[in-house]
Chain A
Amino acid sequence: MKIVSKTLNEGVFLSSFKTDKFKSSLMTVSFALPLDVETASGYSLLTNLLSLSTADFPDMQTFSIIKDELYALGLDAYVQRRSEILLVTLEINTIADSFAFNGEKVLFRACELLGSAIFNPFLQNGVFPEKNVESEKKCLIEEIASAIENKPSFALKRARQILCEGEPFAVDAGGEIERVAELNGKELADFHRYIINNAPVYITYAGEAEQEYLEECIREHLHFEPRNYVLPKPTVHKKRDSILRVQESMEMEQSILILGFSLEMPKNARDRAILSVYDEIFGGSASSKLFMNVREKEGLCYYCSSYPSGRKNVLFVSCGLEPGFEEKATDAIYREVNAMKDGDFSENELENAKNSIIRSVRSIESSLGSLNGYMLGQALLDDSVSVEENLELVKSVTKDDVIALAKTVEPELEYILNAEDAE
């Protein structure tokens, strides 16, 4: 897999993959920042403002029209988390030049628009206009509050907040309602200046453009000055002495059980490979122990899955249950945790799990989204390895490796979001 990685300037990186197998192309520009409760809300609101308008297209309608003229250009801005790193990302999803009418250079024009959104937002007297700030605050507050509507992901978020209280891992990339409400146009302009001048920049691109043309587009419209940077290292979760049991309730039809575990911190690419094999066997697939036993054999739930983090020593298991079955499900999940410790899985299961991971790595080239996501993830790691090396690492994982990791998995949290009947 031929990913071209370049340092364009100190602290400015480009990873690209040329492919003519798609009719569109995808470019992302991400600014990496420490995930911090003090600043997450500001960056989250900033992304909303950057995708709303630019100095050249100050109202959202002219900005939307220009995007439609560029074949419904998907110009999007969002915040995302990678373990304890906050990423402010702007992306453009464009039609490939070769499928445009009349030979238009869509990528070049799209980069111009992206550059305009990044470097030249609509400001008045050097600050984001109050009207836009207040309108986007209302939208973001609604968005944060609406997280409560998706109960499984809300419960997982609560479990993360409780288990990792005080750690950056507990912080929500989307921000907090109270902090968003206090932000103003000047603070947001400061956040904007900071990312433009100081934050490390990671650009990824997958599509048909030749490297030379791609770099020309970036040189013309996405030029970043050098910057000193230190990417924050993930903190190690401090283990608890006893299991923390928390129950909350909400008006809903089924209860949600989240179990939180600590485990050994993955230190390098090989550790991450072992963790991925462990997860595949334990709860990360439709043939995993959790799916086959807790869902299929016991019939306790519709879903039961595990959620590890490759850069943090915690793991969660989530399932939706009929109220009253929480204890039975907890026992069933612990049985599978212990089965992993006891090595209760065959060499065949191990090989199937490894092959499944190898196939997913090979499948990265099947979609622009996964290509860009993979390139960004690798660029953020200071010990990243090539795709080929990664495949070799997965192949090298032994049953003893998985058992050794399984033995470090310890329960720390039993969180139940109880279903409470409507009155």
Chain B
Amino acid sequence: MNSFSIRENKTLKEKYYYTTLDCGLRITVIPKDLPNSFAFVCCNFGGADIEYEHNGKRYELPAGTAHFLEHKMFECADGSDAFLEFERFGGNANAYTSFENTCYYFGCTDNFYENLDVLLRAVSEIHITDDSVAKERKIIEREIKMYEDLPSSIVNRNLSRALYHAHPTIYPISGTVETIANITKSTLEQAFAHFYAPTNLSLCVCGNINPEEIKAYAEKYFAKDSSSRPTTLFPDEPMKVAQSEISTSSVVASPLYSIGIKCPAFKNHDRDSFRKATAMRLAISLTFGRASDFYCQNYEKGLLNERFYAGYTNSRQSAHIVISGSGNEYKQVFDLVKFELEHRKKVFFSEEQLLREKKAAYAESITLFDSGEDLTSVAVSNAFYDFDEFDCIDILRDVTFDEVKDALCSIDLNNVALSIIKSNERKGIMQ
């Protein structure tokens, strides 16, 4: 008997119900009184899943397989499209793939259970043909080319290639035209069989919804499953960067740059790693945020502009700081960034500055609960971890001054790389 447990946060006036079915499917139900209801299904299979082990056997997939499969999952048994089914019931459906996972979802104002039926059927079956795979390959090639025409996407992709030697993050999530050429009907069927088992899926719904009814619907589509979850295999990744600089040219107004600093990766995505990541994020926003000395002084000198960004990203067995922007003075900014980090290791911020930064981060965290769609998309992937959205706010509050300082001091400036997109001489349009 799988009854629902309840988690509640009285300060935020929020709660949710959660359970795991016998088949292994995780379910989260978030009550929310807004006109739109949402349902997300998350498969723990993303761009980083290239080599993996399943039932004692090793497998390798072409880069872009998870994303390709995402494109094909809304294809129905009769060759029709689940989008049309959603439309019939007024569901607004979509899907996306990240390095970590693939999510399918819909939002609706009416006919929630009819739409849920369409969604659960779509993710629990696969119906593809050689022809439909070949046709989809052409569409995905267009999508890849579209991103290749976006310099802001290229500068960050190149940064990953500079920072990492072999980690799958060096490949775009959608793969490349070359890798997707190797994805066939059987590749997709194998990936579906291994990764789309209920033990590797989670379902999260948000709205005026009865949790017991959700359970009944889910049980219709997912039978008991004894297969183990595939284990993703990551190649050994040295701490040293693969290349210290990578440069290309494109149609840009002025050079785009992305500075990366490789950080130790966390083995697991758990509460402890989230706490460390929170400390690092606070350290980065104190140092390079909009109210920082660094940003304000260099903005006034004309070295930075509104496009400047600083953040920290940690994914599966990869972690790095990204500092990006645009302008001809990228070499100078690169040196200033390194200088500022060394300086802040010696002269750290005050308790008062950290409190202000935490206040700002708190406001940002609680507004997640303002959007049913955003909240559901975060909660559906958090279902795989040992912390939730409430913990994130508590961790933010509890992180200490010393933890934030330690995070900053741990940054190793020997592991820095610079990605640049220079302005093409023949930039602009030709008539």
Contact = CB atoms under 8 A, between A and B. Distances in A.
Interface of A: 21-24, 59-61, 64-65, 67-69, 71-72, 95, 99, 101, 135, 138-139, 142-143, 145-146, 148-152, 158, 247-254, 285-287, 291-292, 295-296, 299, 301-303, 320-322, 352, 355-356, 359, 362-368, 417, 420, 422
Contacts of B15: none
A320 B150 CA distance: 13
Given A135-B300, A254-B149, A301-B142, A359 B109 contact: yes
Contacts, number: 183
A285 B87 contact: yes
Given A72-B364, A254-B142, 7 more contacts: A60-B299, A64-B296, A135-B299, A143-B306, A302-B143, A364-B35, A368-B370
B251 to A, nearest CB: 6
B363 A356 contact: no
A359 B251 contact: no
Which of under 10, 10 to 19, 20 to 34, or 35 or more describes the interface residues of B? Answer: 35 or more
A365 B135 CA distance: 39
B90 A21 contact: no
A146 B364 CA distance: 28
Contacts of B356: 65, 68-69
Which of B87, B326, B424 has the most chain A CB within a 10 Å cutoff? B87
B35 A149 contact: no
A99 B362 CA distance: 10
Contact of B367 (A23, A142, A151): A23
Given A142-B305, A249-B430, A287 B141 contact: no
A150 B146 contact: no
B198 interface: no
Contact of B371 (A142, A296, A367, A420): A367
A359 B34 CA distance: 13
Given A99-B366, A135-B300, A355-B90, A142 B253 contact: yes
A286 B83 contact: yes
B273 interface: no
B342 interface: no
Given A64-B290, A72-B360, A368-B370, A149 B150 contact: yes
Contacts of B430: 248-250, 420
B254 A363 contact: no
A143 B371 CA distance: 29
Contacts of A21: 33-34
A254 B146 contact: yes
Nearest to B369: A23
A138 B307 CA distance: 13
A359 B92 contact: yes
Interface in B375-431: 424, 426-431
B110 interface: yes
A299 B149 contact: no
Contact of B372 (A139, A145, A285, A366): A366
B151 interface: yes
A253 B149 contact: yes
B372 A301 contact: no
A254 B145 CA distance: 6
A352 B108 CA distance: 13
A359 B142 contact: no
A359 B90 CA distance: 8
User: Which of A72, A150, A296, A299 is packed against the most chain B CB atoms within 10 Å?
Assistant: A72
Contacts of B81: 287, 292, 296
B285 to A, nearest CB: 10
B31 to A, nearest CB: 12
A21 B208 CA distance: 13
A417 B251 CA distance: 13
A23 B143 contact: no
B250 A23 contact: no
Contacts of B428: 148, 250
A61 B296 contact: yes
Interface string B300-329: 101001110000000000000000001100
5 contacts: A72-B360, A254-B146, A254-B149, A302-B142, A322-B145
B93 interface: yes
Contacts of B431: 247-248
A68 B327 CA distance: 27
Nearest to B147: A253
A364 B109 CA distance: 11
Interface in B239-298: 249-254, 290-291, 293, 296-297
A352 B372 CA distance: 24
B401 to A, nearest CB: 17
A156 B249 CA distance: 24
Which 4 pairs from chain A and chain B are nearest by CB?
Answer: A72-B360, A145-B253, A71-B363, A64-B291
A352 B291 contact: no
B370 A60 contact: no
Given A22-B370, A71-B362, A287 B149 contact: no
A359 B149 contact: no
Contact of A365 (B35, B108, B297, B305): B35
Nearest to B359: A71
Contacts of A23: 12, 366-367, 369-370
Contacts of B34: 21, 365-366
A301 B249 CA distance: 25
B254 A145 contact: yes
B36 A366 contact: yes
Given A68-B357, A145-B253, A299-B135, A356 B87 contact: yes
Contacts of A68: 291, 356-357, 359-360
A160 to B, nearest CB: 15
Contact of A249 (B306, B371, B429): B429
B58 interface: no
A383 B305 CA distance: 41
A158 B431 CA distance: 12
A138 B88 CA distance: 50
B35 A363 contact: yes
Contacts of B150: 149-151
A260 B370 CA distance: 38
B7 interface: no
B426 to A, nearest CB: 6
A24 B150 CA distance: 33
B243 to A, nearest CB: 21
B84 interface: yes
A359 B359 contact: no
A299 B364 CA distance: 41
A113 to B, nearest CB: 14
